[in-house]
C-alpha cells in the first residue's frame, strides 16, 4: 500500500489566531491547500501536511489590507513617490494594497499593466476623480473633474477599482468632493476624501453634508482638521458624522498622523475605523508609516491588538465591498501574516515631528499570499542546514 499523500500543503501550528471576520481570537492551527485556507481548528493534531511550521508564541492574522498607499504616479510628477507593491507589502504582512488615486480615467491602463498585473501583492485602486490622476498639479484644476468618465471606468474594471479618490484640491469650493460623490453614486462605490479645509469649504459640512454614509475621510488625525476643542474634547460633529456612517481612516503618511490629536481622541473612544498608511517612498523611513508600525503606534496609544487587526482586515474589506479578503475563512485565498508582538520600551515618531515612548512593537515574521510563503524573516519554514546532507536545494 503506498502511503497516502498529505492532505494539506502547509499547516501553521499553535499560533494565536486573530481573525475578526470569523470571531477567532485564540490558539489554533491553520491548514492551507491549493492556495486556499483549508481548515482553521484547535484540533488539527492528527492532520498531515507537506510542511508544518511551529508559530507558537506568534500572532497569525489575515494578510493586512492597506486602504491608502501609493504605487502609481499617473506618469507625472508623483512618479518619484511610487513604491513597489511587493517590496512594500511583503515584509509588512500586507497582502492587499489600495492605490489611492494615482490613476485617472485617461491613464488607468498603465496602472493595470505596470502595477496591478506585475506583482504578487494584490493591488486594488481608487480611481481619481480627475482625468489624469495624480499627474502634477492636475488635481487642482476644476476642468479635470469628470464624474461620468470616472464612473464608467470603474464599472468597466470591477476587479480593479473599488472606489473614487478626491485629493489635493486647493480651490476654495466643494467641486472636487461633490464630483467624486457623483461618480461614487453612478458606479455604486465609496469615495475617499483627502482635503484641506478652507474658509468656504468647512470640514463639518464636508463630513456631515457632502460625504455619504460609507464614504471615507482619510487623514483625520492631521493638523488641518481642528476638531479637538481647547479642552481637548472631540467635537460633537465628529460623533454625528460617525453615527451617520462616515468612515474615519488614518492615512498616516508624511503629514497626517499626529500623536497630539490621536492620543486624546483615542482616550475618549474616537479611534480610527480603518488603519492605513498613505505610504509613499518618502514616508517609509521617517516617520516609518508601514502597517505594522502604524498598528504599533495605535497599540501604544491604548488600542487593543484585536481591534487594530479588525481595523486592518475585516473593516477595510467591508468598506470596499470585498468581504472575500481580510479573512481566514475556509475557502478564502490563503493571504496570511504572522507577527511577533514584543513588550518593552520602544520609540515612535509621528507626522508632526514628535516622539512617543511606547510599550509595544508588532513586527512581521512571515507573509503568505495565496498560500505561497513570500516572506519568512527568520526562516521558520526552512530546515536547519545541519540536517541537509547534500548540495540539493531545500524546498
Ligand atoms: Zn495619499
The whole-number pLDDT of residue 82 equals 85
**Cα gap 366→379, rounded to integer Å:** 9
Q: How many A from CA of 68 to the centre of ligand 1? A: 6
7 located within any domain: no
Residue 159 CB neighbours (<10 A)? 10
Residue-averaged pLDDT of the chain: 95
The set of residues, in sequence order, having a beta carbon less than 8 Å from that of 280 and lying 6+ positions away, is 69, 70, 81, 82, 83, 253, 254
Task: Examine the pLDDT at 140 and tell me if it is beyond 90.
Answer: no
| pLDDT mean over 95-120 | 96
- 389-393 long-range contacts, Cβ below 8 Å, gap at least 24? none
In eight-state DSSP terms, residue 130 is B
Q: How many A from CA of 96 to the centre of ligand 1? A: 16
The whole-number pLDDT of residue 389 equals 86
Which three-class secondary structure state does DSSP give residue 302?
Answer: coil
In eight-state DSSP terms, residue 138 is G
pLDDT digits (tens, 9 = 90+) for 184-226: 999 999 999 999 898 889 999 999 999 999 999 999 999 999 8
Any idea how long the chain is? 395
Q: How confident is the model at residue 141 (pLDDT cuts 50, 70, 90)?
A: confident
Q: How many A from CA of 253 to the centre of ligand 1? A: 7
21 located within any domain: no
Residue 114 CB neighbours (<10 A)? 14
291 located within any domain: yes
Q: How many A from CA of 190 to the centre of ligand 1? A: 16
251 located within any domain: yes
Which helix (H) or strand (E) is 147 found in, with range? helix 147-156
124 located within any domain: yes
Q: How many A from CA of 278 to the centre of ligand 1? A: 5
Q: How many A from CA of 254 to the centre of ligand 1? A: 9
Q: How many A from CA of 73 to the centre of ligand 1? A: 11
**Cα gap 138→131, rounded to integer Å:** 8
Q: How many A from CA of 49 to the centre of ligand 1? A: 42
57 located within any domain: no
**Cα gap 364→59, rounded to integer Å:** 9
Q: How many A from CA of 100 to the centre of ligand 1? A: 6
H helices of 227-333, where? 236-243, 259-267, 291-300, 305-310, 314-319
383 located within any domain: no
Angle at 263 between CA 363 and CA 300, to 5 degrees: 25
What residues does 8 pair with on adjacent strands?
49
Residue 238 near residue 206, CB atoms below 8 Å: no
Question: Residue 147's domain is classified under what CATH number?
Answer: 3.20.20.140
Q: How many A from CA of 191 to the centre of ligand 1? A: 13
Q: Structurally, how many domains does the chain consist of?
A: 1
Task: Examine the pLDDT at 261 and tell me if it is beyond 80.
Answer: yes
Q: How confident is the model at residue 1 (pLDDT cuts 50, 70, 90)?
A: very low
357 located within any domain: no
Domain with 116, as residue range(s), is: 64-319
Which three-class secondary structure state does DSSP give residue 153?
Answer: helix
Amino acid at each position: 500500500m503506498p502511503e497516502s499523500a498529505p492532505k494539506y500543503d502547509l499547516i501553521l501550528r499553535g499560533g494565536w489566531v486573530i481573525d475578526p471576520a470569523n470571531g477567532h481570537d485564540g490558539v489554533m492551527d491553520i491548514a492551507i491547500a491549493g492556495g486556499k485556507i483549508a481548515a482553521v481548528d484547535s484540533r488539527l493534531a492528527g492532520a498531515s501536511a507537506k510542511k508544518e511550521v511551529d508559530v507558537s508564541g506568534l500572532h497569525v492574522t489575515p494578510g493586512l489590507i492597506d486602504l491608502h498607499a501609493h504605487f502609481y504616479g499617473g506618469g507625472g510628477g508623483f512618479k518619484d513617490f511610487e513604491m513597489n507593491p511587493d517590496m512594500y507589502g511583503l515584509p509588512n504582512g500586507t497582502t492587499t494594497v489600495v492605490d489611492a488615486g494615482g490613476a485617472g480615467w485617461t491613464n488607468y491602463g498603465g496602472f493595470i499593466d505596470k502595477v496591478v498585473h506585475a506583482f504578487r501583492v494584490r493591488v486594488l485602486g481608487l480611481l481619481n476623480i480627475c482625468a489624469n490622476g495624480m499627474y502634477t498639479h492636475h488635481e487642482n484644476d476644476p476642468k479635470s473633474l469628470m464624474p461620468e468618465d470616472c464612473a464608467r471606468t470603474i464599472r468597466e474594471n470591477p476587479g480593479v477599482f473599488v472606489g473614487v479618490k478626491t485629493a489635493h484640491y486647493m480651490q476654495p469650493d466643494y467641486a472636487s468632493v461633490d464630483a467624486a460623490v457623483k461618480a461614487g453614486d453612478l458606479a455604486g462605490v465609496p469615495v475617499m476624501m483627502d482635503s484641506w479645509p478652507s474658509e468656504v469649504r468647512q470640514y463639518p459640512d464636508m463630513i456631515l453634508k457632502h460625504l455619504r454614509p460609507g464614504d471615507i475621510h482619510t487623514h483625520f488625525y492631521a493638523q488641518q482638521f481642528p476638531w479637538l476643542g481647547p479642552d481637548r474634547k472631540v467635537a460633537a460633529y465628529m460623533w454625528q458624522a460617525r453615527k451617520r456612517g462616515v468612515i474615519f481612516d488614518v492615512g498616516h503618511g508624511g503629514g497626517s498622523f499626529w500623536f497630539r490629536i490621536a492620543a486624546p481622541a483615542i482616550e475618549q473612544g474616537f479611534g480610527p475605523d480603518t488603519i492605513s498608511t498613505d505610504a509613499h517612498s518618502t514616508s517609509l523611513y521617517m516617520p516609518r508609516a508601514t502597517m505594522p508600525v502604524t498598528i504599533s503606534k495605535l497599540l501604544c496609544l491604548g488600542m487593543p491588538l484585536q481591534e487594530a487587526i479588525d481595523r486592518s482586515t475585516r473593516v477595510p474589506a467591508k468598506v470596499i465591498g470585498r468581504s472575500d479578503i481580510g479573512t481566514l475563512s475556509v475557502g478564502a485565498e490563503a493571504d496570511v501574516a504572522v507577527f511577533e508582538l514584543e513588550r518593552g520600551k520602544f520609540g515612535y515618531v509621528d507626522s508632526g515631528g514628535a516622539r512617543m515612548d511606547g510599550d509595544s512593537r508588532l513586527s512581521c515574521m512571515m507573509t503568505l499570499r495565496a498560500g505561497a510563503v513570500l516572506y519568512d524573516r527568520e526562516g521558520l519554514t526552512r530546515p536547519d542546514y545541519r540536517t541537509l546532507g547534500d548540495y540539493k536545494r531545500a524546498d
